[in-house]
């Protein structure tokens, strides 16, 4: 399982570097999803299967859908139309396909070679996670949800086109 840990960490680092170097927001978002899935695999290799599951469900699932929704609400218009032609070229997909293939091989290795993990798994029940989130970390969880809501409202107002009769004129 050391192989899972090191290759998962390498994929996470490469995908994270690609997140901050991509000019297209959707490409950066897809690399971020790949990075989060790799981090989940690293958590699994360390014996934290429940944390890996939460990473996939909450971050790679729900939060990334929210980010994608906000990017789609911005509606970049004609600049996005020009980008669509470049997305159809095979060279555009080489990097993401290579990293996703490495991650798929790792997942297959983990599924069909259930050897000993790097660390022994600790039993964490969902009730304990909920008690922590709504106990000592209630304020942090609520502040994070308000921050996400503020970002979504801001994205809506940035991407919204004003009507000709509306205050501020046409955009």
Q: What is the mean pLDDT of residues 117-125?
A: 65
Whether the predicted pLDDT of 129 surpasses 60: yes
* Block residue for tokens 């939060």: 63
pLDDT band at 69 (very low <50, low <70, confident <90, very high): confident
Q: How far apart are CA 91 and CA 131, in angstroms?
A: 48
Q: Which residues contact 121 (CB under 8 A, 6 or more apart)?
A: 47, 48, 49
CB of 32 closer than 8 Å to CB of 64: yes
* Topology of domain 2-122, CATH: 1.20.120
Q: Is the pLDDT higher at 83 or at 56?
A: 56
């Amino acid at each position: 399982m050391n192989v899972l840990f090191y290759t998962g960490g390498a994929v996470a680092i490469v995908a994270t570097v690609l997140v901050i170097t991509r000019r297209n927001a959707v490409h950066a978002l897809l690399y971020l999803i790949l990075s989060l899935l790799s981090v989940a695999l690293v958590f699994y290799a360390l014996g934290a299967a429940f944390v890996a599951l939460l990473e996939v469900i909450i971050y790679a699932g729900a939060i990334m859908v929210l980010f994608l929704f906000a990017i789609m609400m911005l509606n970049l218009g004609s600049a996005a139309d020009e980008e669509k032609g470049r997305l159809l070229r095979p060279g555009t997909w080489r990097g993401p396909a290579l990293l996703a293939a490495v991650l798929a091989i790792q997942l297959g290795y983990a599924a069909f070679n259930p050897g000993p993990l790097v660390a022994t798994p600790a039993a964490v029940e969902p009730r304990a996670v909920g008690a922590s989130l709504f106990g000592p970390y209630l304020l942090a969880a609520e502040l994070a949800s308000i921050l996400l809501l503020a970002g979504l409202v801001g994205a809506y107002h940035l991407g919204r086109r004003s009507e000709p009769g509306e205050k501020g004129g046409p955009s």
